[in-house]
Chains A and B, each alone.
Chain A
Amino acid sequence: MKVSLTLNGQETSIDDLSGAERLSSVLRESCGARDVKVGCEAGDCGACTVLVDGEAMNACIVPVAQVANRHVETAAGLHRNGDPDAVRVASAFDAGGAVQCGICFPGFLTSLVALKRQQSQPTEAEITDALGGVLCRCSGYRKLIDAAVSACDGSVPRTECDALAGSVGDAVARVDGLPRITGDQIFGDDIAPADALRLRVLRSPHARARFTIGDTQSWVSHHPGVELVLTASDVPGVNRYGVLPGFEDQPVFAESEARFRGEAVAAVVGEKAVIEGLDLNDFPVTWEPLDALVDMPSARKPSADALHAHAAENILCRGRVEKGDVTSALASAEFIKRGTFETGFVEHAYIEPEAGYASFDGERVSVFGCTQAPVMDQEALAGILDLRLAQLRIVPTAVGGGFGSKLDLSFQPFVALAAMRLKRAVRMCYSRQESMQSSTKRHPSRIELSIGATRDGYLTACDFDGEFNTGAYASWGPTVANRVPVHASGPYAYPHYRARTTGVYTNNPPAGAFRGFGVPQAAIALELLLDEMADELGLDPLAFRQKNALQNNVPTATGQCFSQGVGISACFDALAPHWQSLNAEAAAFNNESAPRYRRGVGLAGGWYGCGNTSMPNPSTIKSALRADGGVVLHQGAVDIGQGSNTVIAQIFATAVGCSLHALELISADTDITPDAGKTSASRQTFISGNAARLSGLSLRRELLAALGAPDDADLVFDPNLTGARLGDAFWPFDASALPLDNAGYVICVEESYDPPTAPLDENGQGEPYAQFGYAAHLVMLTVDTALGTVELNKIVAAHDVGKAINPILVEGQVHGGVAQGVGMALMEAYVPGQSEDLHNYLIPTIGDVPPIESLIVEVPDAHGAHGAKGLGEHVLIPTAPAILNGIRRATGARLRAIPATPDAILTALRGDELVEE
């Protein structure tokens, strides 16, 4: 059938439709409206929201036939057409720092426009109701709510932020905010050429199964339009990859046994309509299901089969940090607390599924798509495809949320291999289900912890033993096993310390990097026990933590002694007045309200080392001057929504001495940007920021030298370089005097920064990180003791960031991390086969994140650019334990596992579970 509609004011007709096609798909693929972003194809996330005759609809579940002869409006269309509501809202979102990755923002923009048209002055409650159908995983929603309220009451604080030069410390709007809000930003599934073939992956329906693949040639001959089938035997290089040297254990395609539900065994490639319409149930594969090792206890039974021949007892690796004599110290401790804690799989649940495409020109493969680690992708693909590095080009698109999972390969080897074989562009986008089935997760953990203290509240010993379930493949399991022992102490001092970790293989999706690499799990155990210990010792929980907080010149668990920059006490100090006032407020509430509702305030601290653990971790940043005097920043760090495109550019502009707005920004492309490392480990502001600063200083030096000006002269930009000035003297810029290089630059520099660390010895002693960042959160909450539900009333988050390069982006990181902590604490549980969609896997909605007060603490670090410390992972660590402590302080319920669902809270209230103490 033919469907005619008015799309963003233009009459449009689409032919050859059945009518049942998803409106989102038709808008994106037939009408070119790639601003309609797709996150779930099930009406669960709202990213694809469009207006149909003015009403907000999930375009992914609207059959295109339903919009015949109707008006459809999309986010970018509304904005482009100058819709006054859309323009005002987008501007408020941008100036208010509401957006992060932006994959969901077209949904928010359209939803808010729909509300504004019905109601010119909506209340905050009406705004949240109107936006409740759009999930955001990055922002924590609070800035979005504030910006929406300001857009609706007309007070957009736009001019203030636009007047800023974008120097270090300026709360400037992000350099790429607006396209992220309107949907004009190009994400992984938005970039493939129109004639690209489609690829679909066939995955194991079993957690463990032997399989044989039959006659694929015959199958292809019965499925006209299928151009290629790929299996393990088609991998030209090594059918094994991994993110860490020595731990490459994951095949692109399983070879004879699938080790987790969702593991790839084959791929099919062909034209869009053919591939999308295929019923893969008749694909020639025979499954022989085997008993799966579904959890760590079953995997560690002596009789258990080995998942991998190389891993005896299914142990991936172990980690250990030890100092002093923890056994004797605990034996003689005046006071001991012990606890056993369990956490499950947590899904990253970014709204953008893994997507991209590859092309092949006969010599080189180019891969475009979402990734957190372009150079790691390049290296891994070289091994898989048996190519030289120079034969691979990786061009990251915008990333619609990553949080660690898009460090690992996903779609890349499939499309790259298919493109090589077919010499055609090949594209794929993971379905929500395959994204959730096969992408990495947060490691489930089982932690036994004992802490000892003196009667007067000084910690004497900490003994931590943690098992971490790495699923079927190593991924970042070794990193978790190494990071956790360094961090399990929390930001506290102990004379005696031992932390041991074991990574365990099971028949589950691989657990990998997820904001904090195991540290959030460890923090739950420690901060819950500390809180209980404080109560039992009769000490104020904040004072108890302060008493034991690390200070300058006090050794950490690894014996590292920082002479400066230790900021945990400053974080606790910042919280102190809030701790007092919120506790008073909670006590007053409890006096006045029915006993069913109990209010409490919970507290937790945290710390996190920035960059790789005791390993080289350099970033390199290139910058240049064009002949017309324009300054160019080649910035290979991938902005996954956290804002590195802006922060790194702010540091660079400040070093050069120009405005942020004058820069030409060139983002990651392995052909033209040097390696700025992966976006992980809270390293981009710290490490790439430092490299950007060095690059800026170097460029400034070279410019002054070329101008013949002295080192202390100021460069003059208008907005491009016009010369240098010192007092009355002026040295004009004359490009003709300078040679032009191939890239069109007259001056080009490249600088690197690698943080100083030292290896850990056999006891895990040493200097694993050049800097740590510090954090402390408090949460006021109310528990309904009849239903076990928790209402979060307020969160106060103090973060020592050394120096806030961009305060509004700092707050954005804090809000987003808090929201993920809220989800982890209260609702998120990934269970293979049960919660493989955003319908059953619940993440916080706009109604689930309370007001957040962000306290920016600045204890400068000698190694950070302008004193800045990393922040990206710190923001998640204290939230969950603060919530669990709040629940206990409100009700007495001692939780030993997450999520603290109403069910679990009632059980804990009855005290059914706790027997170990």
Chain B
Amino acid sequence: MDLSLSTETLGDRTVVRVGGEIDVYTAPKLREQLVELVNDGNYHLVVDMEGVDFLDSTGLGVLVGGLKRVRAHEGSLRLVCNQERILKIFRITGLTKVFPIHTSVDDAVAATD
């Protein structure tokens, strides 16, 4: 399965819904999407990972890159994920301490720091 991406604006948050597999081949598409959103002035991103079947370290690298970009504009990047196999990768790499991870898009959109 390839990568699918769609975006939606909810208040001051931009939700990026990701589906399929994020790996060394597809991660550049996600990177382009995040870069474009930040370049267009969207600094509060919510990345919905509920439709993601596979995530590897290349994908993690893209998400970390996205976080760096929004933070440069005092923005935020929140993740939505309930899938244990995806969460495990964040735990192994210690990234659960880096990303706020929410159980629903509503929760992520409502969250403040």
A and B form one complex: no
B positions within 8 Å CB-CB of A: none
A positions within 8 Å CB-CB of B: none
